[in-house]
């Protein structure tokens, strides 16, 4: 099954970044999953890789927010 790529981001990564942008505040994986229409287990795994890649940042409260790099990655999508 082929997935479209946005740079090094797959469809799931793009959906998560867009959900974080729309949520507008640090959010839990469950909140992100609900907004993006994804399974929370899939979001948990993907958020880890997005964090490692610098697209997402984990807050002290254990929530996630999109970084400037993440915003730039989806700006034209």
* Residue 67 forms part of a structural domain: yes
Q: Which pLDDT score is estimated for 77?
A: 59
CA atoms within 13 A on the CB side of 52: 8
**Going by C-beta distance under 8 Å and a sequence separation of 6 or more, which residues neighbour residue 19?**
27, 32, 35, 36
Contact between 63 and 32 (Cβ < 8 Å): no
The rounded mean pLDDT for the chain is 90
> Domain containing 18: what range?
11-74
What's the CATH code of the domain at 27? 1.10.10.10
Confidence of residue 9 (pLDDT cuts 50, 70, 90): confident
- Taking residue 34's Cβ as centre, other Cβ atoms within 10 Å add up to 15
Residue 3 lies in a domain: no
Instruction: Please check the confidence at residue 48 and state whether its pLDDT lies above 90.
Output: yes
Number of separate domains in the chain: 1
Q: Do 65 and 73 meet the contact criterion of CB atoms below 8 Å apart?
A: no
Is residue 32 within 8 Å of residue 47, measured between CB atoms?
A: yes
Q: Is residue 38 part of a domain?
A: yes
């Amino acid at each position: 099954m082929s997935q479209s790529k946005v740079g090094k981001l797959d469809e799931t990564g793009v959906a998560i970044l867009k959900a974080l942008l729309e949520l507008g505040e640090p959010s839990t994986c469950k909140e992100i999953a609900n907004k993006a229409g994804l399974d929370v287990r899939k979001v948990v795994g993907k958020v880890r890789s997005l964090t490692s890649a610098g697209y997402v940042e984990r807050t002290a409260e254990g929530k996630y927010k999109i970084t400037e790099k993440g915003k730039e990655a989806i700006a034209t999508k």
